[in-house]
Amino acid sequence: MKILVTGGLGYIGSHTVVELINNNHQVIIVDNLINSNLEVLNKINKITANNPIFYEIDVTNEEKLEPVFREQKIDGVIHFAGLKAVGESVLKPLDYYYNNVLSTIVLARICVKYKVNKFVFSSSATVYGDQPSPLREDMELMKTTNPYGETKAISERILTDTNYANKDFAVSLLRYFNPIGAHGSGLIGENPKGIPNNLMPYITKVASGVLEKLKIYGNDYDTVDGTGVRDYIHVVDLAKGHVKAIENLHSGVNIYNLGTGRGTSVLELVNTFIKINNINVPYEIVERRQGDIATCYADPSKAEKELGWTATMGIEDMVRDAWRFERNNI
Ligand code: NAD
Ligand code: UFG
């Protein structure tokens, strides 16, 4: 298939582009580089010996995006482009609603116009809110706790309504749990600008000495050791899930959890990182972070049953690959 990938130079997008090429798909990337850089295109080329077509375009710009669909015969889209920092979304809600919701509307409008009937969307486990894990796709969605999460819930609704009105327009809503790790080549990975918000990039920055100490947000949750529990998934496993999702997308609105089904606490992740990489990560326990929940992990059985997809890598692979990428990019 010829697949247009928005946000294809970002963290998850770049890994997915590699897996799409590995599976003989032709890839067109659209990215405005707001949270990535062109160097990633060279890295994709190094890994795959393939040069995907690249357009530097903002997906919210319908006038600029539409000609891409006129020029290329596109079979399907995977929509990663979006802003993703939860804390920033509270401070800049309009930027988040504008970018994340409008990009979904614009892309879906053009897809309907050009009869591009496969649409895969990057959603998030955050749409479940604070419900007991394991989380299943048929659970009702709870009120989201920040503008970022709301942009995902709204985008899911927009795409569902678009399918209702255009039955040929097939949608896959992929709810990611916590992607970490990096490509085995060490060439692409997560490289956030500024101080990281998420746990894994913070750990690697502390291990490399860029940041002094990890702050663990609370050790009084009702979990195995009191620290927060999440379903960490290797980004390459996640990328492979997208290949399966678009290859198996035929009709309707299809919702899938992409997670491992296993919960890992903050302390377990930090200690595994220390042990596998043989490097120290100084940390201190501080107050809980506002908005955090104790436990969040997936029931991933629907994706296994319907897509034939299951995560294959464990926490040890994730911490090893994250650290390799960090060392290559210090
Ligand atoms: P990322 O920031 O690394 O990648 C997003 C890419 O989209 C970047 O390259 C950025 O430059 C681009 N972009 C943003 N707005 C754009 C626009 N209007 N037009 C064109 N390009 C634009 O983030 P990521 O971690 O790879 O996340 C990809 C998607 O997955 C996002 O939609 C994110 O919300 C979602 N998601 C991420 C996580 C996670 O933990 N990383 C979890 C759940 C969902
Ligand atoms: N944590 C720390 N210290 C840090 C950062 C995080 O202790 O410096 C803890 C958090 O309290 C939490 C766990 O590590 O218990 C994971 O936190 P992350 O910030 O890495 O991830 P979240 O689960 O909070 O959120 C992530 C994405 C969201 C997405 C959500 C569900 O950032 O966009 O997963 O998919 F919605």
Instruction: Tell me, using a 6 A CB cutoff, whether residue 176 lines ligand 2.
Output: yes
CA of residue 23 to ligand 2 center, whole Å:
31
Q: Which domain holds residue 122?
A: 2-181+233-260+299-311
Closest ligand relative to 65 C-alpha: 1
Does 330 have pLDDT greater than 80?
no
Digit-coded pLDDT (tens) for 158-193: 999 999 999 999 999 999 999 999 999 999 999 888
Domain annotation covers residue 99: yes
Closest ligand relative to 95 C-alpha: 1
Which residue type occupies 7? G
Q: Which residue has the tokens 């940390």?
A: 283
The minimum-distance atom of ligand 2 relative to the CA of 180 is 20
Helix (H, G, I), strand (E, B) or coil at 20: helix
Cα separation, 14 vs 35, whole angstroms: 12
How many structural domains compose the chain?
A: 1
CA of residue 6 to ligand 1 center, whole Å:
9
232-245 burial, b at 16+ Cβ within 10 Å, e below that, comes to bbbbbbbbbbbbbb
Mean pLDDT over 130-136 rounds to: 96
The minimum-distance atom of ligand 2 relative to the CA of 148 is 33
Domain annotation covers residue 23: yes
The minimum-distance atom of ligand 1 relative to the CA of 79 is 32
Instruction: Tell me, using a 6 A CB cutoff, whether residue 231 lines ligand 1.
Output: no
Q: What is the CA radius of gyration of the chain?
A: 19
Domain annotation covers residue 326: no
Closest ligand relative to 30 C-alpha: 1
Instruction: Tell me, using a 6 A CB cutoff, whether residue 12 lines ligand 1.
Output: yes
**CA triplet 77, 304, 159: central angle to 5 degrees?**
35
- H or E element at residue 201: helix 199-207
pLDDT (0 to 100) of residue 99:
98
- H or E element at residue 39: helix 39-48
Digit-coded pLDDT (tens) for 187-243: 999 988 889 999 999 999 999 999 999 999 999 999 999 999 999 999 999 999 999
Domain annotation covers residue 242: yes
Measured by CA distance, the residue closest to atom 43 of ligand 1 is: 124
Q: Which of 4, 15, 17, 34 to mutate to test the pocket of ligand 1 (most atoms within 8 A of CB)?
A: 34
Which residue type occupies 120? V
Instruction: Tell me, using a 6 A CB cutoff, whether residue 195 lines ligand 1.
Output: no
Q: State the pTM of this model.
A: 0.98
Q: Which comes out higher in pLDDT, residue 330 or 90?
A: 90
pLDDT (0 to 100) of residue 95:
98
As separate numbers, helices (DSSP H) first and strands (DSSP E) second, the chain gives: 12, 14
Q: What share of the chain is helix, strand, coil (3-state, %, to 5)?
A: 40, 20, 40
Domain annotation covers residue 124: yes
Domain at 177, CATH number: 3.40.50.720
Mean pLDDT over 74-83 rounds to: 98
Domain annotation covers residue 104: yes
Q: Which of 266, 273, 297 to mutate to test the pocket of ligand 2 (most atoms within 8 A of CB)?
A: 266
Does 124 have pLDDT greater than 80?
yes
Residues 6+ apart with CB under 8 A from 326: 189, 204, 205, 207, 208
Domain annotation covers residue 62: yes
Query: If we measure between CA atoms, which residue out of 160, 131, 139, 154 comes closest to residue 254?
Result: 160
Residue 148 is among the residues annotated as catalytic for this protein? yes
Contact 105, 232 (CB under 8 A): no
Domain annotation covers residue 49: yes
